[in-house]
A and B are shown apart, each in its own frame.
Chain A
């Protein structure tokens, strides 16, 4: 594959929020690892298969399939899950408006710039990622162990996802109607007692200590008036306004948008 002829800038802006967006979107930036979760616990949390159970497949391994002669297939290296014929599975996150590291649209972009073979979606209160099962597990590890996750302000939820905009509970945890997780005061950690779709776990999964809010503020990608407002980052503001106006002009008449 040929190299890009330009250096991707990823995102405008000089505020810490804009810098965080730029940082997380850049696949060359190594995400900080903040906690460790075992392979088994990740599999439990996802709830798609039992630990140790073989992956279910929807087609034979590509090597055995005798694929047609296709330039695109030669160009694109299949992901491990695609090579093996894994079924499509998911992980879905809810990010609190109270300084979660990511927000759904940024999360989506991060998925696109960092991983291949993923199908993300963006809603206000959740962000699903669908991919081949073993690929989901690999990506999940990075999503759960690094600075992209906070045990209190980010939730792993398959259905009944709501909570992103609600006030926080007395321990600073985001609301989850299914109570998949709780705060364990003895360890100071958040522990999942149900998998992402709400099925009770036979063994709880600890996902670490909630980060202090001051720390979260340094990591967040959300502009907020009680921290850094979009008004405070002139470059981002002007970027959005210009983008809108160019679209407006070009939509009405492409000639109007020339040299603007």
Chain B
């Protein structure tokens, strides 16, 4: 591939004044941290705050060696867009879109309605019809954000603060869907391409599922375990109201049981004691679920690389920045590192080269039967292509100045490409590990201690499915033992899963319910184009939910 065709060249030219091929530059002449508009803004704010509170705050001159900016503090292009941002804008504290993505995931639970309908019809002799379902949904849309439906003297929440809370339903039954009020329906036929809808509807069948979005403010102030409880309480109350039940009759307890246990699908599972968190926290979200939450495959199903890259950006923010970067370690370092997979089109370059290689070599996607020969050929080719990208263009090497960044991107390119070639995520995973070993042996370096630890033993578990030794790749995640402190890997792993299934033409990776639940225009975050959404967050153009303006003094 020629220089002009490399996708990262535009970003490199914007970052540095020298040509991307140039190996020499100057240091210590850029004005330190004052070369960054964002850091100047931080400093000015900090001066004001320190004066008000009487305690000193942000002062980059306290950094060892004279402060940041002894070299160029480079801007970053959000991959797949033409938007350049400062790296500070990609820390989730500074990016409202990143926060909202996580809130939109955490505040979601899916609850089947069939158990409740069975109780109503068979035990209580009530009639359930599309009309009663629509009425129930209207009641629940009143109750779910935090309103009363039974008690006459009850506190309630301010609608302007919880405006993002609602319930919708979906079903695989076209006839039933036709009868549901459009305001409450996620219409599979409208949201998905025809061939995907044709896969999804039989998988879901005639069952009907509620997708419940608890208020973002609840996600911000409570934990993921709150969500199914909040939902179950309001579901039970809405049932009492909509079907005129006795408050406290035994059936109500069964609605709560169904909503909390029998019919609920949490987004993330519980974690073991040493990393314990409630359900619906990032560490418990399997890779395949995350890939299903990403909706890129509805938009460009013909482009598995693009779908994988969009998924990777979500996973980088969720797993690397939120989970590993904050829940598990604290501090800010992980963001600088995690942004590598979704900035400057470097990983895009590797993935698109790989997809092109696969198309030419195998005549299409998911056409190569998984084998050692395929993994070796494809993963080696993309690994060497990736390493050559860094070695031919010193500006690319400096852009990904941490070895873990380069290792993640090169191996992600290899893994995604093997997935596209074979349509099998497990083979993609094996390609990832081969890439890591080749990279390490070629450069004589890889990542930091905790980074490549997993990669030295990863080959051995890549085809293991037995519990505690392995799992089907789609079901692994940060909760899988070998990945418990696996920063910089989960992001790419989610993309490797996504790439395999999009290459096959699958409508979903693991769970059709998750896929449909996030095909929802009313979500604040745009799950079809996460990278663009993060860019808007960085530009301060993203409006999140859960704002407290109605209840705080005017500013």
A interface residues with partner B (beta carbon < 8 Å): 21, 95, 97-98, 102-106, 121-125, 159-160, 162, 164-170, 172, 175, 177-179, 198, 221-226, 229-231, 236-237, 240-241, 243-245, 247-248, 250-252
12 new A-B pairs (CB below 8 Å) besides A102-B444, A165-B402, A241-B380? A95-B445, A105-B440, A105-B444, A160-B64, A169-B26, A178-B64, A178-B66, A223-B442, A223-B444, A225-B384, A247-B460, A251-B469
Tell me if B401 counts as interface (CB < 8 A to partner A): yes
Tell me if B196 counts as interface (CB < 8 A to partner A): no
Q: How far is the CA of A230 from the CA of B440 in the complex (A)?
A: 11
Interface centre among B434, B443, B447, B451 (most CB of A within 10 A): B443
Q: Chain B 196-225, CB within 8 Å of chain A: the 1/0 string? A: 000000000000000000000000000000
CB-CB under 8 A from A172, the residues of chain B are 24
CB–CB B441/A104 < 8 A: no
Q: A105-B446, A225-B391 known; A165 and B64 CB under 8 Å?
A: no
At the interface, is chain B mostly helix, strand, loop or mixed? helix
Closest A residue to B18 by beta carbon equals A167
Q: Which of B58-116 contact A (CB under 8 A)?
A: 64-66, 70-71
CB–CB B391/A106 < 8 A: no
Q: In the complex, how many angstroms separate the beta carbon of B27 from the nearest chain A beta carbon?
A: 5
CB–CB A167/B443 < 8 A: no
CB–CB B404/A167 < 8 A: no
CB–CB A104/B24 < 8 A: no
Interface size range on B against A = 35 or more
Tell me if B273 counts as interface (CB < 8 A to partner A): no
Tell me if B462 counts as interface (CB < 8 A to partner A): yes
Q: Which of B128-136, B141-149, B281-289, B392-400 lines the interface with chain A?
A: B392-400
CB–CB A244/B403 < 8 A: no
Q: In the complex, how many angstroms separate the beta carbon of A245 from the nearest chain B beta carbon?
A: 6
Tell me if B388 counts as interface (CB < 8 A to partner A): yes
Q: Chain B 454-471, CB within 8 Å of chain A: the 1/0 string? A: 000001111110000100
B interface residues with partner A (beta carbon < 8 Å): 18, 22-28, 64-66, 70-71, 372, 376, 380, 384, 387-388, 391-392, 394-395, 397-398, 400-404, 406-407, 430, 433-434, 437-438, 440-449, 451, 459-464, 469
Closest B residue to A158 by beta carbon equals B64
CB-CB under 8 A from B66, the residues of chain A are 177-179
CB–CB B387/A225 < 8 A: yes
Kindly identify which residue among B387, B388, B444, B451 contacts A103, using a CB–CB cutoff of 8 Å.
B444
Interface centre among A21, A160, A243, A244 (most CB of B within 10 A): A244
CB-CB under 8 A from A98, the residues of chain B are 23
CB–CB B445/A105 < 8 A: yes
A-B contact count (CB 8 A): 154
CB-CB under 8 A from B400, the residues of chain A are 165
CB–CB A122/B404 < 8 A: no
Kindly identify which residue among A164, A167, A241 contacts B24, using a CB–CB cutoff of 8 Å.
A167
Instruction: List, sorted by A's number, 7 A–B pairs whose CB atoms are closer than 8 Å.
Output: A123-B403, A167-B25, A241-B380, A244-B434, A248-B463, A251-B460, A251-B463
Closest B residue to A256 by beta carbon equals B463
Q: How far is the CA of A255 from the CA of B257 in the complex (A)?
A: 47
Interface centre among B22, B65, B384, B400 (most CB of A within 10 A): B65
CB-CB under 8 A from B64, the residues of chain A are 159-160, 177-178, 198
CB–CB A248/B403 < 8 A: no
Q: How far is the CA of A179 from the CA of B28 in the complex (A)?
A: 9
Q: In the complex, how many angstroms separate the beta carbon of A235 from the nearest chain B beta carbon?
A: 11
CB-CB under 8 A from A106, the residues of chain B are 444
CB–CB B402/A125 < 8 A: yes
CB–CB A169/B25 < 8 A: yes
Q: A223-B443, A230-B441 known; A166 and B401 CB under 8 Å?
A: yes
CB–CB B395/A160 < 8 A: no
Q: A98-B23, A241-B380, A241-B434 known; A252 and B463 CB under 8 Å?
A: yes
CB–CB B27/A247 < 8 A: no
Q: How far is the CA of A98 from the CA of B460 in the complex (A)?
A: 33
Q: How far is the CA of A96 from the CA of B249 in the complex (A)?
A: 73
CB–CB B444/A162 < 8 A: no
Q: Which 5 residue pairs spanning A and B have beta carbons closest together?
A: A124-B403, A103-B444, A251-B460, A178-B65, A247-B459
CB–CB A251/B398 < 8 A: no
Q: In the complex, how many angstroms separate the beta carbon of B230 from the nearest chain A beta carbon?
A: 43
CB-CB under 8 A from B395, the residues of chain A are 167
Q: A97-B443, A103-B443, A167-B24 known; A237 and B380 CB under 8 Å?
A: yes
Q: How far is the CA of A102 from the CA of B461 in the complex (A)?
A: 31
CB-CB under 8 A from A159, the residues of chain B are 64
CB-CB under 8 A from B27, the residues of chain A are 169, 175
CB–CB B464/A252 < 8 A: yes
Q: How far is the CA of A92 from the CA of B300 in the complex (A)?
A: 49
CB-CB under 8 A from B407, the residues of chain A are 124
Q: In the complex, how many angstroms separate the beta carbon of A29 from the nearest chain B beta carbon?
A: 18
Q: How far is the CA of A248 from the CA of B391 in the complex (A)?
A: 29
Q: A178-B64, A225-B388, A245-B376 known; A124 and B447 CB under 8 Å?
A: yes
CB–CB B440/A125 < 8 A: no
CB-CB under 8 A from B437, the residues of chain A are 240, 243-244
CB–CB A245/B372 < 8 A: yes
CB–CB B23/A170 < 8 A: no
Q: How far is the CA of A194 from the CA of B403 in the complex (A)?
A: 26
Q: A124-B445, A169-B24, A198-B65 known; A226 and B392 CB under 8 Å?
A: yes
CB–CB B398/A166 < 8 A: yes
Q: How far is the CA of A162 from the CA of B464 in the complex (A)?
A: 38
CB–CB B23/A168 < 8 A: yes
